[in-house]
Amino acid sequence: MDKEIKDIINVMEKLDGILFSRFQRIGKRISMKDPFSELTNTQLQAVFKIGKIQPCTLSDVAKTLRISKSSASTLVERMVVKGVLERKQDPDNRRRVLITVTKPVNKFQKTIDAELIKELKRIATKMPRADFNKWVEANRAIDLAVDAVYGSLKKG
């Protein structure tokens, strides 16, 4: 089993490298400033996760990122200063603050998502359909196993 897991890691790293290089070229091609260029890896992961659960509270951020509320507060503050996140007052509860990604970041993320889908489609078209179906099923099984071990990362 160890060898197979190492093989999985190698493929994941290869895909990550391909997708990351595409990610870097997107901003140049669409003449859009990369809002992520000055983020740390932790901040980059956080902005993608927050983008999936937005609008969200600081508690939601802490839970999603599996960090303390004080660490989440510090992280969010740094990202607000960098212009990738914003805080807004909840219109339904004036004492509650909602966190969202900024409009330019949202636009950039949507562009990246479309590009990543395009890249994965290019890879998928080089696979026999049966292997692609196995890949999809394996990803669904991994998602369920991760949720079973760590709990769902989706906003409840």
**Topology given in CATH for the domain delimited by 39-101:** Arc Repressor Mutant, subunit A (1.10.10)
Q: Which residues of the chain have pLDDT under 50?
A: 155-156
Q: Is pTM, for the whole model, over 0.85?
A: no
For tokens 């997107």, what's the residue? Answer: 26
Q: Which helix (H) or strand (E) holds 10?
A: helix 2-29
- pLDDT the model gives residue 106: 87
d(C-alpha 113, C-alpha 23), whole Å: 9
Reported as a single tens digit per residue, the pLDDT across 1-31 is 888 888 888 888 888 777 777 766 765 666 5
Contacts of 121 (CB under 8 A, 6+ apart): none
